Structure 1
């Protein structure tokens, strides 16, 4: 079974170096460094801006007010990179981020607000500064850590373009672990266990497909669930994840295919396809309603329903351009995309800054310092996210309900979510023209019921098995529920 709390979650993804510079408590103030880039300056590949976990703590109330109740933090362990995927010490939160004390305080403060905390686990590779790789670099064949890595020959040439060892995407900065080695394997699994002492709620797994060993991930699950049976294990798998979602490895994956379907329908001709194509999103296509529905139904049919309702549904992240840029600054389309995200099966996930309308192209531009000038925030977008999160929390059917297609033509899509005796109908107008709704209900509701859009308060009618009379404005969405007639 997947963790029960996840189905009720709305995730907020934070890139710690770029979220906020916090001061820290007087007894343990955040370090002051002169080498940080200016917060508002264009980010560079190597530069640090100085965001830390104290800054996240200071903004937990903001996070909660926006409707988020779960955090997914990009890597936080000691590293020589601003993104911290170059881990040097897996048992030490980077001192620049506030160290282990800051994480302990963050988890405590988050849990007091009923906010969960999931860490990013980078177990396929480490950085060159990792103790085992440094030992190997100094001692070569004499090192007891030789078999922790995939060495081709000596010298390692660790600082050349063509290193003599396996590395992630042949990047010498990221030597790949040999997880077949029992000692290396035990070391990584002990890392996964260790941080539950701090009360974390799960792991997001970086490139888990590159550890091509199902037994490793089965053991990982056993060890993690022994620490916390309600821990969330979510893998970074960009496409079909059937292999990992059989109940013995991951609870869920980052559901980029669902995000691509939403962007395809909502974006239409506005999509910046070239921008997306040069990123992890790959080729984005403009989709009509039927094509979008077909993709969604395919996704919902691939996995057990437990996994479907636990998927980390995501449109953009630190690995993609920002949604505001992909949709070329069309705030109404961005609003509709997020509204749709909250009505589909799975767990909505929002990348920091997307809630205020931040722009951003390819890495590192998509990792700008968080925009804290409220005068520059897209307030309508923020209200949409708050409203959709509140609606999702108030309606169990939006968290647990099955998906049933009702209607699709051009930019008009309608579906029902059904859970037990409760059903709602979602209508989406992804076109620039108003849509007078007249859609078949296929037995979702009895005939003669009155209906109301829970977002706008507008009324509709159920006549002869059809929902009619509701007017949907361009690039908008309605969530219909029946009302008993007087």
Structure 2
């Protein structure tokens, strides 16, 4: 029987790129160091000095936003601002405040019932990873040779040109990222120990970076056993951009980052302003309501229902253009996408800064500093929309774990119902630029013939389906939700 952590089904996640979220001034090791100015262009690739204490200081803001779980990009010691180049899995990066700062963040977050999930990068390490450095210094005399797949000597970790390429397996052929040989028993034992260590330290789960690159189901089954033994409620979510049945049979991951949810959502609600944009397995192109309805119904029927409820539903991430940029700066399209995200199965995840209108193209541009001290840079109306949308989700369990069925899809309007026991929610979204007349009939929608109260907008109005067919007018670029 497939089982996923119950708390995830009710969570609202917030993804943080730690170097760019908030500086605290509480990390002594940064004193006297040369950091990039806060808000420097992200493509400069330097360190702007965000740290974990900075997140602690912003927990009030996150709680007011409705956030109940954090997903942090990598935090372990690294020579890259994104920290996917890990050189010490035992230590939180000193620039982030070290292990003490993680302890402070976990304690403060847990006091507020906010969970914390870390990014686990186990397919590759970095040139600075101590076993790789050991091989670099000792060559064939190093006992760590079999931790990597090395082709000849001497190692060429900086590969200045095509004439002298790197001579070991590296992720995406980047010499800075030597791949770990996970077929090696010592490497596997090391990774399993790291996985257990941080769960026992208090983290609430792992987001796994490029886990499909470790093409070994037994590895991930062992990983799951180790993590769940340390905490049965720990969340394991993989970064897989496409259909992921092989990993979602209940014996490896709890869920994946739901990119198949992302592209149709932005392609429908941003249909009139959408940029021409392609990223990995995602192609954004305008969808009408029937196309969107069919696609999104398939998304929520793709896996076992237990898995579907634990999927991480995102609209963007550190690996792609921001949602507002993708929909051509159309805040109405983003508002509808966010409301939809908050009313469907799976755990919604907000990328830091989206809620105040941060907008940028592909990475590294989408990794800019949060403008805490620039109130004129904030879209306060958008922020209020996010807060109201998360509050709506928290208020109605049917919007979190109820069944999902599309009952209407015509032109620019899609309608779906959520059902949980005796509770039903009726949801209508109009992505078009003109009014839409929609006929509501309890029998056709397969919902109880009752009086339903408007929850969005929360204006006290109702629709009485006891009276038979009811016609409602949906204004352009708007939504109506009755419960």
For normalisation by structure 2, the TM-score amounts to: 0.95
Alpha carbons of structure 1 residues 467 and 222: separation in structure 2 relative to 1, 3 Å? farther
Q: 1:45 to 1:125 in 2, by over 3 A?
A: farther
Q: Which residue of 2 aligns with 1:416?
A: 417
1:306 aligns with 2:309: no
2-structure distance, mates of 1:450, 1:238: 38
Per the alignment, in what secondary structure is the counterpart of residue 294 of structure 1?
helix
State the 1:138 CA deviation: 1.3
Rounded Cα–Cα distance in structure 2 between residues aligned with 1:449 and 1:71: 38
The 2-side partners of 1:227 and 1:145 are apart by 28
Partner of 1:168: 171
Report how many residues are paired: 474
Q: CA deviation at 1:450?
A: 5.0
Secondary structure of 1:132 counterpart: helix
CA–CA distance in 1 between the matches of 2:247 and 2:44? 32
Task: Tell me what 1:477 maps to.
Answer: 479
Residue 225 (structure 1) shift: 0.3
Equivalent of 1:266, from 254, 264, 269?
A: 269
Instruction: Give the deviation of 1:271 after TM superposition.
Output: 0.7
Within 5 A, what are the aligned runs for 1:214-225? 214-225=217-228
Aligned-pair distance for 1:436?
2.8
**Conservation of the 8 A alpha-carbon contact between 2:16 and 2:352:** yes
Deviation at 1:414, TM superposition (A): 0.2
Displacement of 1:164: 0.3
Q: From 232, 238, 249, give the equivalent of 1:229.
A: 232
Q: Gapped runs of 5+ residues in structure 1?
A: 482-486
Q: Deviations over 1:96-124 (max 9, x none)?
A: 00000000000000000110000000000
* Shift of residue 452, structure 1, vs aligned partner: 2.6
Once the two structures are TM-superposed, the CA of residue 345 in structure 1 deviates from its matched residue by 0.7
**DSSP-derived class of the 1:477 partner:** strand
Q: Please tell me whether the aligned partners of residues 281 and 320 of structure 1 are also in contact (alpha carbons under 8 angstroms).
A: no
2:85 pairs with 1:86: yes
Q: Structure 1 CA distance, aligned partners of 2:81 and 2:454?
A: 48
User: Residues of 1 paired with 2:93 and 2:86: CA distance?
Assistant: 9
Matches within 5 A, 1:125-140: 125-140=124-139
For residues 125-274 of structure 1, what are the structure 2 equivalents within 5 Å?
A: 125-160=124-159, 161=161, 162-273=165-276
Aligned pairs for 1:45-60 (under 5 A) are 45-60=44-59
Partner of residue 462, structure 1 = 465
- Alpha carbon RMSD of aligned pairs, Å? 1.5
Deviations 1:438-460 (A, max 9, x none): 24443533446354344242433
- Say if 2:429 and 2:478, in contact at 8 Å, map to a contact too: yes
CA–CA separation in structure 2 for the residues paired with 1:261 and 1:77: 34
Give the whole-Å Cα distance in 2 for the aligned partners of 1:420 and 1:447: 15
Q: 1:446 to 1:188 in 2, by over 3 A?
A: closer
Q: Is the CA contact (8 Å cut-off) linking 2:200 and 2:231 kept in structure 1? A: no
| Distance in 2 between residues matched to 1:461 and 1:286, nearest whole Å | 34
Shift of 1:473: 2.1
- C-alpha displacement of 1:468: 2.2
Q: Which residue of 2 aligns with 1:327?
A: 327
Aligned to 1:484: none
Give secondary structure in 2 for the equivalent of 1:270. Answer: coil
Cα contact 1:2–1:307 (8 A) shared by 2: yes
Deviation string 1:105-148 (CA, Å, 9 cap, x unpaired) is 00000000110000000000001000000011111222111111
1:103 aligns with 2:116: no
Q: Given the alignment of the two structures, is residue 404 of structure 1 paired with residue 375 of structure 2, yes or no?
A: no
- 1:383 equivalent in structure 2: 384
Assess if the C-alpha contact under 8 Å between 2:355 and 2:383 holds in 1. Answer: yes
- Assess if the C-alpha contact under 8 Å between 1:406 and 1:440 holds in 2: no
- The aligned residue for residue 395 of structure 2 is 394
Distance in 1 between residues matched to 2:140 and 2:405, nearest whole Å? 60
Alpha-carbon distance change, 448 to 59 in structure 1, aligned in 2, over 3 angstroms: closer
- The separation in 2 between residues aligned to 1:45 and 1:179, in whole angstroms, is 33
Give me the whole-angstrom Cα distance separating, in 2, the residues matched to 1:451 and 1:56: 38
Q: 1:222 to 1:154 in 2, by over 3 A?
A: same
Question: Is contact 1:446-1:465 (8 Å) kept?
Answer: no
**2:252 aligned counterpart, secondary structure:** coil
1:388 CA displacement: 1.3
Structure 2: tracts of 5 or more residues without a match: none
CA gap of 1:389–1:281, structure 2 versus 1, over 3 A, is: farther
**Alpha-carbon separation, structure 2, partners of 1:379 and 1:474:** 22
For structure 1, which segment, 433-442 or 157-166, has the greater mean C-alpha deviation from structure 2 after superposition?
433-442
Change (3 A) 1:22 1:281: farther
Matched, 1:67 2:66: yes
Separation (CA, whole Å) in 2 of partners of 1:128 and 1:30: 23
SS for the counterpart of 1:283 is strand
